[in-house]
Amino acid sequence: MRRTTLLLACLLACLPMSVPAATPPSSADLATVAERSGFQRTGRYEEVLALCDAFAERYPDAVRCESFGTTPQGREMKVLVATRSGAFDPAAAAAAKIPVLLAQGGIHAGEIDGKDAGFQLLRQMLDGEAAPGALDQLVLLFVPVFNVDGHENFRAWNRPNQRGPEEMGFRTTAQRYNLNRDYVKADAPEMRAMLALVQRWDPLVTLDLHVTDGAKFQHDISITGEPVNSGDPALRVAGRALRDGIATRLEQQGSDPVVFYPSFVEDDDPATGFVHGVAPPRFSHGYFQLRNRLAILVETHSWRNYPERVRATRNTVLDAIELTVAHGDEWLALADAADARARGLGGQPVPLDYRATDDVRTIDFRGYAYTRTPSDISGALMTHYDESTPQVWKVPLRDTIVPGTVVTAPKGGYLVPPEYAKIVASWLDAHGVAYRKLAHPVEVDAQVYRADEAKFAAASMEGHQRLSLEGAWAPSHETLGAGALFVPIAQPLARLAVHILEPQAPDSMAGWGEFNNAFERKEYMEAYVAEEVARGMLAKDPALKARFEQKLKDDAGFAASPRARLDFFYRLHPAWDSGYMRYPVLRTDLLP
């Protein structure tokens, strides 16, 4: 009986069976947890994984779901590539002159508006309900969540200064990196993956979707970005058109945008007003202008409720897509021309940072009635807002922006000794900055930077002890061994190379403490030895004696410091460490 049963089971298993074809998910199946909950909740990352696959299955002609990295906790990082142009790979998009727009959500995973807004808008576009025909002329790269591990650090009070959703992710990665401080140094594996995606696709426009902290006021969104006040001067035409075009359209859609970051000059005091500026390239909207591309920082206001914020974010992405489609040919041409101009940047001035001038104008800013009274809790003046009483504040705004620190780019490029080649190459590779390794030793006329002052930060930042330097470049004849690197200035990413390798750039390798060893004393002359050396030098050199005595008269700090007085002589002695305070990267006006 048992053998008969087994035989029957085998026969049944071998018979052909009619299996109904799988039905692709409908548009209704692609609704998010946020939509189904009336934007009270947001889904976990498993929803992103499911929706990524489901969009590709539902719209096989228009969507690809791809992994572009793995997080430290082992989660896949997903990007949806959406287009009806047929350009599903970067080479095809570049050959067809199809503009690429990257929209990234959740770089700060508690600020998750971009994820839910992006899925909603993408479905509407694919169904012809929004921006009809746009995907025929554009490639949309949608990263729902950049900081994936942070997204899954999920709880109700990760954003205490924000209204909704009920629970959300956390600001930093599992390794506690703030990804929006990591664009240049690229410590985090997630950032390395994002920069590789950027290198592959070279997006013309990037949208970084955030939610701001800050005071209570009526404006629901800020739109800032570059190049507007920085970067290639001609490309700023496109940057301003994108920023101002989004703001204008948002007003027509019922929002109340501002085009500066609404953070008070003095924290918690609305009367101090605002100062506009240019973000350093550790931030997304300060980074892409160094690649000769456009970037917009989108900041919905945290005290607006979640449905309002998602709607404003959805509209912003839609507006940016429509503007990119309308101006794509023009902006691509401007970007290509900026790349060409960057190749000729040698010998030209390059700003390393920017500042607002003292020019002030008074603006009307829509806030609420407020009082500032002493607090028996904190002991400080505290601001209390009355959201039932709208009020127009007349506050100062400084938004005339000019270059701050400016350097002249080397005519040839930068030289990196072989002992530093590996660490410098790691930074350059992350961004696609071109360089070549020298196969043989070279002698070259170069410039060496020596610091007069090196200040180490008192506190750690992003796991680094930052360093600020004051000094100057001076001519020198140098010999470098085989394996040294030459980083030519004649390349499209010349501005980015300058910001990585100039010692005074805010997000340079030096600024992030990668070369701190060069600015630490390693050898000393004992005081009693220096005393004997000094007396001998003074006895032999009357001019030196006159210099020393004059310095004692002119510099009270020097005169009061036994260490400085002895070092005056030690620095002139052959025993002095010539490598101390010498920046390890050289500049050259020649091609080795």
Residue 23 reports pLDDT greater than 90:
no
pLDDT band, residue 499 (cuts 50/70/90): very high
Residue 27 is predicted with a pLDDT of 74
499 contacts 508 by C-beta, under 8 angstroms: yes
Of residues 148, 152, 150, 146, the one with CA closest to residue 194: 146
Sequence-ordered list of residues with C-beta below 8 angstroms from that of 487, at least 6 positions apart, any chain: 413, 414, 415, 416, 428, 433, 434, 435, 497, 501
Residue 1 is predicted with a pLDDT of 41
Residue range 398-429, pLDDT digits in tens? 999 999 999 999 999 999 999 999 999 999 99
Q: What is the mean pLDDT of the chain?
A: 95
3-state helix/strand/coil string of 492-509: CCHHHHHHHHCCCCCCCC
Question: Which CATH number is correct for 32-340, 2.40.280.10, 3.40.630.10, 3.30.2130.30, 3.40.640.10?
Answer: 3.40.630.10
Residue range 125-173, pLDDT digits in tens? 999 999 999 999 999 999 999 999 999 999 999 999 999 999 999 999 9
For the chain, give the percent of residues with pLDDT over 90: 94
pTM for the full predicted model: 0.93
581 contacts 519 by C-beta, under 8 angstroms: yes
Residue range 340-390, pLDDT digits in tens? 999 999 999 999 999 999 999 999 999 999 999 999 999 999 999 999 999
Query: On the CB side of 423, how many CA atoms lie within 13 Å of its CA?
Result: 16
Sequence-ordered list of residues with C-beta below 8 angstroms from that of 569, at least 6 positions apart, any chain: 530, 533, 534, 537
For the chain, give the percent of residues with pLDDT over 70: 96
Residue 445 reports pLDDT greater than 80:
yes
415 contacts 446 by C-beta, under 8 angstroms: yes
- The beta strands (E) that lie in 375-503 are given as 381-398, 401-403, 406-408, 413-416, 436-437, 442-456, 467-480, 485-488
Alpha helices in 15-112 (DSSP H): 33-36, 45-58, 90-95
| Sign of the C-alpha dihedral computed for residues 134, 135, 141 and 144 taken in this order | positive
483 contacts 407 by C-beta, under 8 angstroms: no
Residue 13 is predicted with a pLDDT of 43
pLDDT band, residue 442 (cuts 50/70/90): very high
The mean per-residue pLDDT over the stretch 561-584 comes to 94
Residue 449 is predicted with a pLDDT of 98
Residue 546 reports pLDDT greater than 50:
yes
Report d(CA 178, CA 502) in Å as an integer: 24
Residue 6 reports pLDDT greater than 80:
no
Residue range 183-215, pLDDT digits in tens? 999 999 999 999 999 999 999 999 999 999 889
Residue 592 is predicted with a pLDDT of 87
For the chain, give every domain's residue range.
32-340, 361-403, 409-521+580-588, 527-570
pLDDT band, residue 5 (cuts 50/70/90): very low
Residue 21 is predicted with a pLDDT of 52
Report d(CA 515, CA 493) in Å as an integer: 22
Tokens of 479: 């010999």
Residue 25 is predicted with a pLDDT of 79
